[in-house]
């Protein structure tokens, strides 16, 4: 009954066995290998466009490196007040940008309110030397509250940002879950919606440690600079073929969407089970694999005592995260314990 | 015939299969797992002392994080003019320290000359506000020229550094090769010689991507700060168990020394073969798995055309690196081509 | 009728003539001169305690250097959402701290709400590696809204901060105006209230460019580090005697409080005049020399057309700043134009 | 007998009195005033070309800000091993560039050897991700050894740098002394020789604290960014008119060259006097106002005991610096004491 995070789950066997396949004799270092090329090609296929990509092993590295090519030390990045880059990355964006700022925006359920964004970009004045101007907008899909932006939601916010000279980053640590949930194409939820740089995650969905920083369109001009920053930050390990092999296996035959679909369905089932078991209500709409529910204190305690793992959230709710490996038994056991009051 | 680097070699099967073993159900994230504890314990055993350790996936990250806890933004790190941290890490020490400097020292064959170090530390004046004072000494064993410092060499330099208030870092990307070559104990070549922080590498000796930042003695007080810096730099991926599992397998039953011994012996054999084949002379003493030889231009060209991979070095010599997977056939083939003139 | 800022006013003649007195032959550089010593002694007298001080030429340098010794790159500084360090210093705190963050707190009229601060420090968890913990609280007196914290207000907030391990900075760009307004002693409004480091300004109150970073109590241990940071940031010009001479003249015979009193009285008179002339209401309580009033658009336009200088503020009000050189004529003329509707 | 530095000398009366003239009522802040415009125009006249300029109060700020617009965090700046930016600015270039490196070049008498520069730029490979490439060359005129580069010397080095994609900075803390010594025009010793950004000093030649960062030609595109960096580093004090007024007075009627000429002549006279008094030999050619002579230890001691101020230099010589205020009496007295052996 481990619902603490999708990162506590085991790695999918297909991804693990891809490493053994990649361990085939000598290979060029630092991303010049054939698996790295194959990963890029596979991503280009999935996103239906040419693109550049750099692979790293952690979501924080992926986000911070991505932001560092979008925002100078003297600029700011607009994001949601509860965004992962603000709350959970220990100042990585500030470190990688060389002292850039995050400008926090409000919005329900982890989604940046359109009006709040509008006020921020309209007030933005890059020519006023005293204030730190916005250079980028960072969105997350799924959000930290487990909710999704639709393609239209993204398009509207990205268009607003672009119209005011900002570039757009998408934290897609759970992009697979968003795609599986929304049924829109990866392209529609990224570059066609105006995303310039996407942090495309695999680690929360069955990989060991594999996150792709994907550059689309004009942002591809930043690719050489991105590699330099990756090198300088220690994110250019020699044997990148083993990271690339994970991405190849992740994308092959739609494994990534299959796994995300499993996780999303498990979350929906868990929501229904908890509602039925103890009347638990959703604190945020359920759009993917993260469930936020209000649980009576005695239920929380009983679950904890039974060894269930989940997180008390800042808003008073409890977060349960499902993954590709969540089983019906896990869900059933949890609900049974929740019920016994 | 790939002698380009020990990082182009495949991963050792025992290390690869350790990942599958670690993929055993759910596990805590961010280094709180049992494999991380086991890796620490194994290192403590190998080094015969209690210690703290953080695991990262690249040598650059290992060195730069280690240095960042030894030197403030306003200080400098003394190192050899040809040290990896100076020449091959794209300013990572400067980035991670927040703008610290490297102070370059001379010395034959990649080893810092004792007199040069003495002059530097004697001239050091931390109270003079205008100049950047030395805070740390960084040594490499093996050096970039493939040579080794003996335990006594290390002890003398570390004692000098400590006497002037500096702390000591050892870049041990090829520490295994140094231990295998010198026959001294890991403890004698590290903390007993005065090393405060060791970057202990496995990636060049059979691992996928696994480098341990090892804190000894008083330097262990910096451990909490080291973890914060690792997090902030994106070097705290969730599923650290898979990095830790590599280290466990690497140390188990002395695999690390066995592999280093194989690589060292291959280099010795290669040196003898090339000497015999074309009279190639060593440009630097051969103390491990890196061979620097002077080769006539026609020989170089013939080797390249035959598909042999090696590096022309700055000093005019050619670098050949052997690894655990270098075969007698590789060596024989290379020598045969070198001979045909 | 220049009410744009107290920095647009001329320099007080006594301060200007102090430069000529300091221009007396040769003198040691970099703050080792007798005027620097005299400035320190004068500040110690005014604040009734021993202290350390470094003089810089701008408020941004003063605040950012002060904060850089209170907060590491991996930490955060709590301040008001509208604080000068957040809104008007182009990321200087982030630059000088090496990537630290500002955590923004709410509160009416530019004053940090006690409850908001309490929630922030109670939630602070320095041991949680993923979040950026608070290391310092930065207050401003006067605030950006022209309001004052009483000694008791400061004491309560500083005590709360200290109880949770934070240190306390006070942006005193208009400290003189606060002292003149509140009638409390400089000591009561600084170290006795729990302020560890004070940015004590003179530039807005008659000096050319002179701001003292004053370290009290245990914070004095950071003095050597502060000088290093000042040097490294270009804030250790050779001829510091001319900055120190300004501070000496500023403090001599209470000139600083005399000038602040004049400015405060002018603001009070202006408020009354505008109220009487056009019914202008205060947007924020008037505690010093900065006046925020709601003015009908036609009045604003008439004033601008007549050459009056003032700032439209973010909250819709208009900011008028008085200085030591504001005259009754200025005020009278302004009110007359405001009246003519 | 204060020959410690030209910064220990008093300020020239004409420059001091310019401050009083500038203290004429209200004025715009942050460099938008008429004196700032006049300073720019005066510099354009002296340099016979249009240009952009930002004024700061210290040489370290001038150099570091200049370099920060020429070199990214991931790049390096080539300079002489004994350059002020390397030895005397406490890592300011590293701080302002965000972690850029200095690459040290050799050369006699403080001048970068042409061959050394050639080897460095020829080896430079901006496309190789692992090494830090050179982005800028920083020359000093006068050098730290008191020697001058001729216009031709500068031209040759700048052309070499430009041919390899570097931009050229000139540390002109003693540019006036170089111009006065060489008899070449300011233009010939700066932009016409290929200098992109000049740190043009006045503080060592009679000003209080005034250094101009002058952008020529294409480098002017960096002006907006330079101002942002100045602001963020606390080098945009409100009352810039008082810095600008110094520059105006400094340039008016050739005061700057007159003062530099006086200082240079004093140095020449001092050299002759010491040679005649005690056979003191020059350690470096005397091209300006800095004299490096070998003095017997007893002479050094006698001078020190008599209260003479000078610096023992790293190379074993003694440095004496003359300024606009050095008198014949100072020189005569010094020589007399040196003679008495």
pLDDT tens sequence across C172-181: 999 999 999 9
User: CB distance A99–D98 less than 8 Å?
Assistant: yes
Count of beta carbons in the 10 Å neighbourhood of residue B240: 27
What tokens does D254 get? 């050739």
- What pLDDT was estimated at residue A314? 83
Do A99 and C102 lie within an 8 Å CB cutoff?
no
Checking if the pLDDT of A335 tops 70, the result is yes
Of C74, C224, C229, the CB nearest to B228: C74
In terms of residues, how long is chain D?
341
3-state secondary structure of A188: coil
Q: Across residues B9-16, what is the average pLDDT?
A: 97
For D118, list phi and psi in degrees, rounded to 5: -60, -45
CA atoms within 13 A on the CB side of B17: 4
Window 190-249 of B: residues touching A by CB (8 A cutoff) are: 203-204, 208-209, 228, 231-239, 242
CB interface of D with C, residues 72-101, below 8 Å: 89-92, 95
Q: Which residues contact A134 (CB under 8 A, 6 or more apart)?
A: A75, A76, A77, A78, A103, A120, A121, A124, A164, A166
Please give the structure tokens belonging to residue C10. Answer: 């001329």
Pick C7's closest partner by Cβ from D239, D309, D325: D239
| pLDDT of the residue at B340 | 78
Token pair of B311 as six digits: 């590096």
**Stretch A120-126: mean pLDDT:** 96
Model confidence over A47-81: pLDDT tens digits? 999 999 999 999 999 999 999 999 999 999 999 99
Binning pLDDT at 50, 70 and 90, where does residue A341 land?
A: low
- D235/C56 CB distance under 8 A: no
Can you tell me the mean pLDDT for D116-138? 97
Q: Bridge partners of A282?
A: A293
What is the helix, strand, coil percentage profile of chain A, to 5? 45, 15, 40
3-state SS, one letter per residue, for chain C: CECCCCCCCCCCHHHHHHHHHHCCCCCCCCCCCHHHHHHHHHHHHHHCCCCEEEEECCHHHHHHHHHHCCCCCCCEEEEECCCHHHHCCCCHHHHHHCCCEEEEECCHHHCCCHHHHHHHHHHCCCCCCCCCCEEEEEEECCCCCCCCCCHHHHHHHHHHHHHCCCEEEEEECCHHHHHHHHCCCCCCCCHHHCCCEEEEECHHHCCCCCEEEEECHHHHHHHHHHHHHHHHCCCCCCCCHHHHHHHHHHHHHHHHHHHHHHHHHHHHHHHHHHHHHHCCEECCCCCCCEEEEECCHHHHHHHHHCCCECEECCCCCEEEECCCCCCHHHHHHHHHHHHCC
pLDDT tens string A303-321? 999 999 999 998 899 999 9
Report d(CA D224, CA C283) in Å as an integer.
35
Strand partners, D101: D76
| pLDDT score recorded for residue B16 | 97
Which residues 6+ apart lie within 8 Å of C60 measured at CB? C88, C89, C90, C92, D231, D232, D234, D236
* Confidence band of D186 (pLDDT split at 50, 70, 90): very high
pLDDT tens-digit series, residues A186-210: 999 999 999 999 999 999 999 999 9
Partners of D199 in the beta sheet?
Answer: D171, D213
Name subunits touching B (3+ CB pairs < 8 A). A, C, D
Mean pLDDT of chain B: 97
Q: How far apart are CA B247 and CA B241, in angstroms?
A: 10
Two structure tokens written together for B267: 């280099």
Q: What residues contact C41, with CB distance under 8 A and at least 6 apart?
A: none
Look at residue B246 in the predicted model and tell me its pLDDT.
98
pLDDT over threshold 70, residue D341: no
- Tokens representing C213 are 């970073």
Looking from the CA of B296 toward its CB, the CA atoms found within 13 Å total 13
- Of the CA atoms within 13 Å of residue C152, those in its CB half-sphere come to 0
* Among B297, B213, B305, B229, residue whose Cα is nearest residue B68: B229
Cross-chain residue pair C129–B229, CB shorter than 8 Å: no
Question: Tokens 């403030």 correspond to what residue?
Answer: B72
Q: If you average pLDDT over every residue of chain C, what do you get?
A: 97
Residue A126 φ/ψ, nearest 5 degrees: -60, -20
> Mean per-residue pLDDT for C34-45?
98
Give residues with Cβ within 8 angstroms of C151, minimum separation 6. Answer: C182, C184, C188, C189, C192, C193
Residue with tokens 């990250």: B61
Categorize the per-residue pLDDT at C153 as very low, low, confident or very high, splitting at 50, 70 and 90.
very high
Does residue A258 surpass a pLDDT of 60?
yes
The DSSP element (H or E) to which A244 belongs, if any, is helix A241-251
Residues A91 and C132: beta-carbon distance below 8 Å: yes
Phi/psi of residue A198, nearest 5 degrees:
-115, 130
DSSP code for A191: G
Cβ pair D129:A74 closer than 8 A? no
pLDDT band per the 50, 70, 90 thresholds, residue D1: confident
ipTM over 0.90: yes
Burial A213-237 (b: 16+ CB within 10 A, else e): bbbbeebbebbeebbbbbbbbbbbb
Q: What is the pLDDT of residues C94-148, one digit of tens each?
A: 999 999 999 999 999 999 999 999 999 999 999 999 999 999 999 999 999 999 9
The CB density around residue D235, as the number of other CB atoms within 10 Å, is 30
Q: Judged by CB atoms within 8 Å, which residues 112-171 of D form the interface with C?
A: none
**Residues near C229 by beta carbon (within 8 Å), at least 6 away in sequence:** B74, C65, C68, C69, C96
This prediction has a pTM of 0.97
The strands making up B318-321's β-sheet, listed across from edge to edge, are B281-282, B290-294, B318-321, B311-312
Task: Determine the pLDDT at residue C1.
Answer: 83
pLDDT band for position D340 (cuts 50, 70, 90): confident
Interface mutation vs chain D, best among C57, C91, C245, most D CBs within 10 Å? C57
Residues of B whose CB is below 8 A from A62:
234
Cβ-count burial of D45 within 10 angstroms (0-12 exposed, 13-18 middle, 19+ buried)? exposed
Nearest one of A12, A51, A40, A1 to A204, comparing CA atoms: A12
Q: Is the peptide bond before C310 cis (omega within 30 degrees of 0)?
A: no
Residue at token pair 């490439």: D133
| Rounded Cα distance, A60 and C77, in Å | 22
pLDDT > 70 fraction of chain B, expressed in percent and rounded: 100
Interface test with B, best of D68, D94, D122 (most B CBs within 10 A): D94
Average pLDDT over residues B156-163: 98
Q: What is the pLDDT of residues D3-44, one digit of tens each?
A: 999 899 999 999 999 999 999 999 999 999 999 999 999 999
Distance in angstroms (rounded) separating the CA atoms of residues D103 and D75: 10
Average pLDDT of the residues in B259-275: 97
Residue C116's contacts (CB-CB under 8 Å, 6 or more residues apart) are C105, C106, C107
- Please tell me the predicted confidence (pLDDT) of residue B314: 83
- pLDDT, tens only, C238-269: 999 999 999 999 999 999 999 999 999 999 99
Distance to chain B for D173, nearest Cα, Å: 16
The helices-and-strands tally (H runs, E runs) of chain B is 13, 11
Q: Decide if pLDDT at B244 tops 80.
A: yes
- Residue B319 host element (H or E): strand B318-321
Interchain pair B233, A234: CB under 8 A? yes
The Cα of B10 is separated from the nearest Cα of chain D by a number of Å equal to: 22
């Amino acid at each position: 009954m481990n619902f603490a995070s999708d990162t506590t789950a085991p790695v999918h066997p297909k991804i693990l066995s891809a490493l053994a396949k990649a361990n085939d004799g000598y290979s060029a270092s630092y991303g010049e290998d054939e698996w790295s090329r194959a990963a890029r090609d596979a991503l280009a296929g999935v996103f239906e466009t040419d693109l550049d990509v750099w692979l790293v092993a952690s979501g924080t590295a992926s986000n911070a490196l991505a932001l560092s090519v979008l925002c100078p030390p003297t600029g700011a990045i607009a994001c949601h007040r509860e965004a992962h880059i603000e709350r959970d990355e220990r100042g990585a964006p500030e470190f990688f940008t060389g002292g850039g700022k995050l400008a926090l925006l409000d919005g329900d359920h982890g989604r940046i309110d359109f009006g709040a964004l509008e006020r921020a970009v309209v007030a933005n004045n890059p020519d006023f030397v005293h204030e730190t101007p916005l250079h980028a907008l960072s969105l997350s899909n799924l959000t930290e509250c487990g909710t999704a932006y639709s393609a239209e939601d993204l398009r509207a916010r990205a268009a607003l940002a672009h119209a005011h000279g900002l570039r757009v980053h998408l934290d897609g640590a759970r992009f697979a879950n968003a795609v599986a949930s929304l049924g829109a194409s990866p392209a529609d939820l990224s570059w066609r919606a105006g995303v310039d740089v996407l942090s495309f995650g695999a680690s929360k969905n069955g990989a060991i440690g594999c996150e792709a920083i994907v550059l689309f369109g004009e942002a591809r001009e930043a690719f050489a600079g991105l590699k330099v920053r990756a090198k300088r930050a220690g994110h250019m390990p020699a044997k990148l073929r083993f990271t690339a092999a994970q991405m190849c296996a992740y994308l092959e035959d739609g494994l990534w969407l299959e796994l995300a679909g499993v996780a999303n369905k498990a979350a929906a089932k868990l929501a229904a089970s908890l509602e039925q078991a103890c009347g638990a209500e959703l604190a945020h709409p359920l759009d993917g694999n993260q469930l936020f529910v209000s649980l009576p204190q005695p239920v929380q305690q009983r679950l904890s005592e039974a060894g269930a793992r989940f997180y008390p959230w800042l808003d008073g709710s409890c977060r349960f995260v499902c993954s590709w490996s969540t089983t019906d038994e896990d869900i059933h056991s949890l609900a049974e314990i929740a019920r016994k009051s």
